[in-house]
């Protein structure tokens, strides 16, 4: 009987400690995620990962570059060159690969790969009520793991059914509308995904404004933590 009581006591103590450690890990990761505008992020961990480099202001060297689709504001060869070193690995869709040089790995929805110790999964990204990013294009979002945290960059997408199967710690979601889901749709997407932290993106450059990010945060208040990053 005493052993049973001790076991229950340890479970009661250890589970909250584990949860708190997970939350601390996710929150600590945020300081290593830098928003450079639009869908461009620099994530610093075991490796330096860039997503959809566009309007890059400073030269840098990425270990990995993730490109979601071929539109000019996501697949920009000139911007890629600003952060591409001799060992940089680019992960992209097949139509992007035609525009790029160097070490390029091609992924389509459902594919996964490990690059420089970083696990990367390609997931679908498409429009449901507009024709800018149709499903037949095979364009993607990515889930990748840095410092033990699963991070999702959604790419240019609407709220799609596949999001119910996405399990991540941090989700970076478009909120501007017009070409992608609007803030209210992004709220529904976040509720399907249930990340520990959601970060709005795809605003303030071509379409959308900070008000879209704020509406997204307001819609998730009390449900999911939202971090609106300052553009660097």
* pTM reported for the whole predicted model: 0.90
Q: How far apart are alpha carbons 43 and 172 in whole angstroms?
A: 12
In-domain check, residue 216: yes
Q: How far apart are alpha carbons 200 and 219 in whole angstroms?
A: 12
In-domain check, residue 18: no
Q: How far apart are alpha carbons 184 and 177 in whole angstroms?
A: 9
Q: What angle do CA 111, 116, 119 make, to 5 degrees?
A: 35
Q: Which neighbouring-strand residues pair with 42?
A: 34, 50
Q: How far apart are alpha carbons 89 and 97 in whole angstroms?
A: 12
**Model confidence pLDDT, tens digit, residues 202-217:** 999 898 899 999 999 9
In-domain check, residue 231: no
**Model confidence pLDDT, tens digit, residues 124-145:** 999 999 999 999 999 999 999 9
Give the range of the structural domain holding residue 174, as residue numbers without chain letter: 27-226
Number of structural domains, the chain?
1
Closest CA to 144 of 111, 174, 175, 177: 111
- State the CATH number of the domain containing residue 89: 3.60.15.10
In-domain check, residue 9: no
């Amino acid at each position: 009987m005493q052993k049973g009581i001790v076991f229950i006591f340890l479970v009661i103590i250890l589970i909250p400690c584990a949860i708190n450690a997970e939350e601390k890990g996710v929150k600590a990761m945020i300081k290593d995620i830098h928003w450079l505008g639009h869908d461009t992020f620099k994530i610093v961990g075991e490796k330096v990962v860039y997503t959809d480099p566009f309007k890059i202001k400073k030269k840098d060297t990425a270990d990995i570059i993730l490109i979601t689709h071929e539109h000019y504001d996501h697949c920009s060869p000139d911007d890629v060159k600003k952060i591409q070193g001799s060992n940089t690995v680019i992960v992209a869709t097949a139509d992007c690969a035609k525009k790029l040089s160097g070490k390029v790995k091609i992924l389509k929805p459902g594919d996964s790969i490990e690059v420089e110790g970083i696990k990367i999964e390609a997931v679908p990204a498409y429009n449901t009520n507009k024709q800018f990013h149709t499903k037949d294009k095979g364009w993607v979002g990515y889930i990748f793991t840095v410092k033990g945290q699963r991070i999702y960059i959604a790419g240019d997408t609407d709220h799609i059914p596949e999001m119910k199967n996405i399990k991540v710690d941090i989700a970076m979601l478009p909120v501007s509308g017009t070409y992608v889901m609007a803030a209210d749709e992004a709220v529904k997407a976040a509720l399907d995904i249930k990340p520990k932290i959601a970060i709005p993106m795809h605003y303030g450059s071509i379409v959308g404004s900070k008000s879209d990010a704020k509406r997204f945060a307001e819609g998730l208040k009390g449900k999911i933590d939202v971090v609106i990053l300052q553009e660097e």
